[in-house]
Amino acid sequence: MASRTLTTEAVVLRSIRFSEADCVLHLYTLEKGRVGAIAKGVRKTRSRFGARLEPLSHVELLLHEGRGDLHTVRGAELVRSHDPSRTDPYRLAAGHIGLEAVLRLFVEEEAQPQAFHALTRFLDLLDEVEAELPAQPALEPLVLSFQLKLLWLSGYLPHLAGCAACGEAKPLVAFSARAGGAVCRECAADALPVSEAGFLGIRALLEQPLAGAREAGLEEDALRQCLRVIEASYEEHGGFRLRTLAQTR
Ligand SMILES: [Zn+2]
Protein backbone atom coordinates (compact mmCIF):
# COMPACT_ATOMS: atom_id res chain seq x y z
CA MET A 1 0.00 0.00 0.00
CA ALA A 2 1.41 3.38 -0.99
CA SER A 3 1.89 5.80 1.85
CA ARG A 4 0.35 9.22 1.53
CA THR A 5 0.67 12.67 2.93
CA LEU A 6 -2.14 14.89 4.06
CA THR A 7 -2.30 18.60 4.81
CA THR A 8 -4.99 19.60 7.28
CA GLU A 9 -5.90 22.12 9.92
CA ALA A 10 -5.97 20.48 13.34
CA VAL A 11 -6.40 21.20 17.04
CA VAL A 12 -4.18 19.37 19.54
CA LEU A 13 -6.50 17.74 22.09
CA ARG A 14 -3.93 15.85 24.11
CA SER A 15 -0.20 15.18 24.05
CA ILE A 16 1.29 12.09 25.67
CA ARG A 17 5.01 11.47 26.24
CA PHE A 18 5.99 8.51 24.15
CA SER A 19 9.74 8.23 24.56
CA GLU A 20 12.67 10.41 25.54
CA ALA A 21 12.03 12.78 22.65
CA ASP A 22 8.67 11.92 21.08
CA CYS A 23 5.00 12.57 21.78
CA VAL A 24 1.81 10.90 20.66
CA LEU A 25 -0.81 13.50 19.81
CA HIS A 26 -4.59 13.17 19.84
CA LEU A 27 -5.76 15.53 17.11
CA TYR A 28 -9.09 16.76 15.86
CA THR A 29 -8.63 17.59 12.19
CA LEU A 30 -10.75 19.39 9.61
CA GLU A 31 -10.10 16.84 6.88
CA LYS A 32 -10.37 13.53 8.75
CA GLY A 33 -11.92 14.15 12.14
CA ARG A 34 -10.13 12.32 14.91
CA VAL A 35 -6.55 11.30 14.16
CA GLY A 36 -3.62 10.04 16.23
CA ALA A 37 -0.11 11.09 15.26
CA ILE A 38 3.42 10.75 16.49
CA ALA A 39 5.58 13.88 16.67
CA LYS A 40 9.19 12.80 16.62
CA GLY A 41 11.78 14.83 18.45
CA VAL A 42 9.13 17.23 19.72
CA ARG A 43 10.43 17.09 23.30
CA LYS A 44 13.98 18.08 22.39
CA THR A 45 14.76 21.66 23.36
CA ARG A 46 15.68 22.50 19.79
CA SER A 47 12.78 20.72 18.13
CA ARG A 48 11.80 22.12 14.75
CA PHE A 49 8.19 22.01 15.99
CA GLY A 50 8.96 24.28 18.97
CA ALA A 51 5.97 24.65 21.29
CA ARG A 52 3.48 24.47 18.43
CA LEU A 53 2.14 21.01 19.27
CA GLU A 54 0.71 21.64 22.74
CA PRO A 55 -2.96 21.05 23.74
CA LEU A 56 -5.17 24.00 22.61
CA SER A 57 -2.87 24.77 19.64
CA HIS A 58 -4.65 25.31 16.34
CA VAL A 59 -2.17 24.27 13.66
CA GLU A 60 -1.82 23.39 10.03
CA LEU A 61 -0.14 20.00 9.80
CA LEU A 62 1.57 17.95 7.17
CA LEU A 63 0.82 14.36 8.16
CA HIS A 64 2.31 11.22 6.73
CA GLU A 65 -0.03 8.26 6.71
CA GLY A 66 1.95 5.15 7.44
CA ARG A 67 0.78 1.59 7.75
CA GLY A 68 -0.01 1.67 11.46
CA ASP A 69 -2.70 3.52 13.35
CA LEU A 70 -0.58 6.57 13.96
CA HIS A 71 0.25 9.22 11.41
CA THR A 72 3.62 10.97 11.57
CA VAL A 73 3.85 14.75 11.84
CA ARG A 74 6.14 16.00 9.05
CA GLY A 75 5.44 19.71 9.37
CA ALA A 76 3.51 22.09 11.62
CA GLU A 77 2.54 25.75 11.14
CA LEU A 78 0.80 27.65 13.91
CA VAL A 79 -2.63 29.07 13.01
CA ARG A 80 -3.40 30.25 16.59
CA SER A 81 -1.37 29.50 19.70
CA HIS A 82 -4.18 30.35 22.15
CA ASP A 83 -1.54 31.58 24.59
CA PRO A 84 -4.10 33.86 26.34
CA SER A 85 -5.98 30.68 27.33
CA ARG A 86 -2.88 28.64 28.09
CA THR A 87 -1.49 31.22 30.52
CA ASP A 88 -4.69 31.91 32.48
CA PRO A 89 -5.79 29.20 34.97
CA TYR A 90 -9.53 29.81 34.54
CA ARG A 91 -9.43 29.79 30.73
CA LEU A 92 -7.07 26.83 30.72
CA ALA A 93 -9.39 24.77 32.94
CA ALA A 94 -12.42 25.66 30.76
CA GLY A 95 -10.36 24.88 27.64
CA HIS A 96 -9.41 21.44 28.93
CA ILE A 97 -13.09 20.64 29.60
CA GLY A 98 -13.88 21.52 25.98
CA LEU A 99 -10.95 19.45 24.67
CA GLU A 100 -11.92 16.43 26.76
CA ALA A 101 -15.53 16.66 25.54
CA VAL A 102 -14.26 16.45 21.94
CA LEU A 103 -11.91 13.59 22.90
CA ARG A 104 -14.77 11.55 24.33
CA LEU A 105 -17.55 12.39 21.86
CA PHE A 106 -15.63 12.39 18.56
CA VAL A 107 -13.60 9.20 18.41
CA GLU A 108 -13.96 8.28 14.73
CA GLU A 109 -11.65 9.11 11.85
CA GLU A 110 -14.44 10.81 9.98
CA ALA A 111 -14.55 14.44 8.83
CA GLN A 112 -17.16 16.51 10.65
CA PRO A 113 -16.39 20.09 9.66
CA GLN A 114 -19.14 21.57 11.86
CA ALA A 115 -17.54 20.02 14.93
CA PHE A 116 -14.09 21.26 13.88
CA HIS A 117 -15.34 24.81 13.32
CA ALA A 118 -17.24 24.78 16.63
CA LEU A 119 -13.99 23.76 18.34
CA THR A 120 -11.87 26.50 16.75
CA ARG A 121 -14.60 29.09 17.43
CA PHE A 122 -14.79 27.96 21.08
CA LEU A 123 -11.01 28.36 21.46
CA ASP A 124 -11.00 31.78 19.75
CA LEU A 125 -13.74 33.06 22.09
CA LEU A 126 -12.09 31.51 25.15
CA ASP A 127 -9.00 33.71 24.65
CA GLU A 128 -11.19 36.75 25.47
CA VAL A 129 -13.08 35.35 28.47
CA GLU A 130 -12.69 37.09 31.84
CA ALA A 131 -13.54 34.97 34.87
CA GLU A 132 -16.33 36.15 37.14
CA LEU A 133 -15.65 35.45 40.79
CA PRO A 134 -15.93 32.94 42.30
CA ALA A 135 -14.22 31.36 39.30
CA GLN A 136 -15.93 28.06 38.43
CA PRO A 137 -14.66 26.88 35.03
CA ALA A 138 -17.21 24.03 34.86
CA LEU A 139 -20.01 26.65 34.99
CA GLU A 140 -18.48 28.92 32.33
CA PRO A 141 -21.40 29.64 29.92
CA LEU A 142 -19.11 29.38 26.88
CA VAL A 143 -17.93 25.86 27.74
CA LEU A 144 -21.48 24.75 28.66
CA SER A 145 -22.80 26.05 25.34
CA PHE A 146 -19.94 24.34 23.48
CA GLN A 147 -20.72 21.00 25.13
CA LEU A 148 -24.45 21.25 24.35
CA LYS A 149 -23.58 21.93 20.70
CA LEU A 150 -21.22 18.95 20.64
CA LEU A 151 -24.00 16.73 22.03
CA TRP A 152 -26.28 18.04 19.30
CA LEU A 153 -23.64 17.39 16.60
CA SER A 154 -23.14 13.87 18.00
CA GLY A 155 -26.83 13.13 17.49
CA TYR A 156 -27.78 13.41 21.17
CA LEU A 157 -29.95 16.46 20.72
CA PRO A 158 -31.91 16.95 23.93
CA HIS A 159 -35.60 17.09 23.01
CA LEU A 160 -37.06 20.15 24.75
CA ALA A 161 -40.29 20.95 22.91
CA GLY A 162 -42.67 18.56 24.72
CA CYS A 163 -42.39 15.55 27.00
CA ALA A 164 -39.72 13.28 25.47
CA ALA A 165 -41.32 10.21 27.08
CA CYS A 166 -45.10 10.50 26.49
CA GLY A 167 -45.00 13.11 23.71
CA GLU A 168 -47.59 15.36 25.32
CA ALA A 169 -47.34 19.13 25.52
CA LYS A 170 -47.48 19.15 29.35
CA PRO A 171 -45.37 21.38 31.60
CA LEU A 172 -41.82 20.04 31.73
CA VAL A 173 -40.27 19.48 35.14
CA ALA A 174 -37.27 17.20 34.69
CA PHE A 175 -34.65 15.90 32.29
CA SER A 176 -34.32 12.24 31.39
CA ALA A 177 -31.23 11.36 29.34
CA ARG A 178 -32.75 7.91 28.76
CA ALA A 179 -35.91 9.42 27.23
CA GLY A 180 -33.71 11.89 25.31
CA GLY A 181 -34.89 15.14 26.81
CA ALA A 182 -37.33 17.03 28.98
CA VAL A 183 -40.19 15.12 30.64
CA CYS A 184 -43.50 15.94 32.36
CA ARG A 185 -44.37 15.27 35.99
CA GLU A 186 -46.02 11.90 35.21
CA CYS A 187 -42.90 10.67 33.39
CA ALA A 188 -40.36 12.17 35.80
CA ALA A 189 -39.57 9.10 37.95
CA ASP A 190 -35.75 8.76 38.20
CA ALA A 191 -35.34 11.91 36.08
CA LEU A 192 -33.24 14.94 37.01
CA PRO A 193 -35.41 17.83 38.29
CA VAL A 194 -34.98 20.96 36.15
CA SER A 195 -36.63 24.33 36.83
CA GLU A 196 -38.20 26.59 34.24
CA ALA A 197 -35.11 28.82 34.43
CA GLY A 198 -32.97 25.74 33.90
CA PHE A 199 -34.83 24.81 30.70
CA LEU A 200 -34.69 28.41 29.46
CA GLY A 201 -30.94 28.35 30.09
CA ILE A 202 -30.39 25.08 28.23
CA ARG A 203 -32.42 26.40 25.27
CA ALA A 204 -30.52 29.68 25.23
CA LEU A 205 -27.11 27.98 25.32
CA LEU A 206 -28.15 25.45 22.67
CA GLU A 207 -29.74 27.89 20.25
CA GLN A 208 -27.53 30.97 20.60
CA PRO A 209 -24.26 31.10 18.68
CA LEU A 210 -21.26 30.40 20.94
CA ALA A 211 -20.49 34.13 21.00
CA GLY A 212 -23.85 34.79 22.69
CA ALA A 213 -23.37 32.26 25.52
CA ARG A 214 -22.11 34.76 28.06
CA GLU A 215 -24.58 37.45 27.01
CA ALA A 216 -27.49 35.15 27.86
CA GLY A 217 -26.89 36.30 31.47
CA LEU A 218 -27.85 33.03 33.13
CA GLU A 219 -27.91 32.69 36.91
CA GLU A 220 -25.60 30.23 38.64
CA ASP A 221 -28.50 27.89 39.45
CA ALA A 222 -29.52 27.64 35.77
CA LEU A 223 -25.87 27.04 34.77
CA ARG A 224 -25.60 24.28 37.36
CA GLN A 225 -28.70 22.58 35.94
CA CYS A 226 -27.25 22.81 32.40
CA LEU A 227 -24.11 21.11 33.66
CA ARG A 228 -26.11 18.29 35.26
CA VAL A 229 -28.05 17.72 32.01
CA ILE A 230 -24.77 17.59 30.06
CA GLU A 231 -23.22 15.11 32.50
CA ALA A 232 -26.36 12.92 32.49
CA SER A 233 -26.24 12.87 28.68
CA TYR A 234 -22.56 11.82 28.68
CA GLU A 235 -23.31 8.98 31.08
CA GLU A 236 -26.41 7.76 29.27
CA HIS A 237 -25.12 7.97 25.68
CA GLY A 238 -21.40 7.49 26.08
CA GLY A 239 -21.07 5.80 29.46
CA PHE A 240 -18.38 8.25 30.55
CA ARG A 241 -17.70 11.14 32.91
CA LEU A 242 -15.29 13.96 32.09
CA ARG A 243 -12.22 13.87 34.31
CA THR A 244 -11.74 17.62 33.85
CA LEU A 245 -15.25 18.34 35.17
CA ALA A 246 -14.58 16.30 38.30
CA GLN A 247 -11.35 18.25 38.87
CA THR A 248 -12.91 21.69 38.74
CA ARG A 249 -15.50 21.08 41.45
ZN1 LIG B 1 -44.69 12.70 29.88
Distance 236 CA to ligand 1 centre (A): 19
Q: Supply the CATH number for residue 141's domain.
A: 1.20.1440.120
Over residues 166-179, the pLDDT tens digits come to 999 999 999 998 89
For the chain, the average pLDDT equals 92
Amino acid at 157: L
Q: Are 67 and 154 found together in one domain? A: no
Distance 173 CA to ligand 1 centre (A): 10
Amino acid at 85: S
Out of 16, 48, 81, pick the residue that ends a domain: 81
Distance 234 CA to ligand 1 centre (A): 22
Q: What is the distance between the alpha carbons of residues 140 and 119, in angstroms, rounded to a whole number?
A: 16
Out of 59, 81, 103, pick the residue that ends a domain: 81
Burial class (CB in 10 A: 0-12, 13-18, 19+), 98: buried
Q: Are 164 and 182 found together in one domain? A: yes
Q: Are 111 and 188 found together in one domain? A: yes
pLDDT at 3: 62
Number of domains in the chain: 2
> Which residues have a beta carbon within 5 Å of ligand 1, which is an ion?
163, 165-166, 184, 187
- pTM for the model: 0.94
pLDDT at 212: 94
Q: Which of 174, 91, 95 is nearest to 132 (CA)?
A: 91
Q: Are 195 and 120 found together in one domain? A: yes
User: Which domain does 117 fall in, by range?
Assistant: 84-247
pLDDT at 157: 73
Q: Are 20 and 109 found together in one domain? A: no
pLDDT at 249: 59
Q: By percentage, how much of the chain surpasses pLDDT 90?
A: 77
Distance 225 CA to ligand 1 centre (A): 20
- Regions of the chain with pLDDT less than 70: 1-3, 248-249
